[in-house]
Amino acid sequence: MATLIGGLGTSHIPAIGGAIHKNLQQEPYWKPFFDGFPPIHQWLDKAQPDVVVMFYNDHGLNFFLDKMPTFAVGAAPLYHNADEGWGIPTLPPFKGEIDLSWHIINTLTGKEFDVTTCQEMLVDHACTLPLKLFWPKGECPVTVVPICINTVQFPLPSAKRVYALGRAVGEAIQSWGSDKKVAVIASGGLSHQLDGERAGFINKEFDLQFMESLLTNPEWATQYSIHELVEKSGTQGIELLMWLAMRAALTVGDKPSVRKIHSNYHIPISNTATAVLVLEKV
């Protein structure tokens, strides 16, 4: 059976891609963010996952307000980058892990999740940036299963439902008939709001409490309704649902415990609270 080795989380602000492209990682504005990654690279060099399952949110590339699935799973052989132009200009397509994609789809359907199956799927900065941040040199060495969670158009899935989805995905990974090592990635957040009366809103206290809960009390955020989470984290900060799904995936199996390898929190980049986190299953 496959081995679920751990989970990673990172913000996915489009401007990060521009900084990578322009080689601005050591500029004062960007350095506190990029300084959070060397310990993660060291862990990945040691852990060497073969596959990543990516929880992310689509930004109008595949789904728009007129057609917005709650959960969608990619089942494509390749995922082509079609970013909106703010990030890295060109990237080769990422290879899909089709067998795991269908195993996850079948597992979720069997657990009564109604998922949209995407045998063709374009990816934007929400997928490309985490992969480039975690593997900055050369082509991406892992295959990918993207899982899109709606954080754009209400009604949004509740934190409890997203947590249940994450657990189901974790169970699917651990029951996958493969000897490959799998890591789970959360892409998005943390607190930020880009429009409206609260534009520029950041809630550092809540962010840090949420990050701590992922280590010590993974269901902590499920006590809040989706509207309470939007109030606490901002309209776009609700992307924290990806982090919750990632953490839930790690709770499955005979050894549900995790240990923190590294974390970093920095504000602001582009009016957003940025964070990175690595949790290893033990």
Task: Give the mean pLDDT of 60-66.
Answer: 87
Query: What digits encode the pLDDT tens for the residues 95-145?
Result: 999 999 999 999 999 999 999 999 999 998 899 999 999 999 988 999 999
pLDDT category, 153, cuts 50, 70, 90? Answer: very high
Between CA 76 and CA 61 the distance in angstroms is 16
Position 162 scores a pLDDT of 98
Residue of 269, 241, 271 lying closest to 9 (CA atoms): 241
Average pLDDT over residues 67-71: 94
Give the pLDDT confidence score for residue 70 in this predicted structure: 97
From the centroid of its chain, how far is CA 76? Answer: 18
Query: In sequence order, what are the residues at sequence separation of 6 or more whose Cβ sits closer than 8 angstroms to the Cβ of residue 144?
Result: 51, 52, 53, 54, 74, 79, 94, 95, 96, 97, 127, 131
Choice among 12, 103, 125, 262 that is catalytic: 125
**Pairing mode, strands 272-281 and 3-10:** antiparallel
Dihedral Cα 225, 226, 232, 235, nearest 10 deg: -170
CA separation for the pair 213, 219 (Å, rounded):
8
* 271 phi-psi bin (left φ>0, alpha ψ -120 to 50, beta other): left
Considering the candidates 41, 80, 103, 192, report the single residue annotated as catalytic: 192
Catalytic residue check, 192: yes
Q: What is the pTM of this model?
A: 0.95
Our answer to whether residue 125 is catalytic in this structure is yes
Q: Is the peptide bond before 69 cis (omega within 30 degrees of 0)?
A: no
Give pLDDT tens digits for 192-230.
Answer: 898 888 888 999 999 999 999 999 999 999 999 999 999
Which amino acid appears at position 250 of this protein?
L
Point out which residues pair with 181 in neighbouring strands: 3
Task: Using the predicted structure, report yes or no on whether residue 86 has a pLDDT greater than 70.
Answer: no
Q: On the CB side of 92, how many CA atoms lie within 13 Å of its CA?
A: 10
Q: List the domains of the chain with CATH numbers.
A: 3-281 (3.40.830.10)
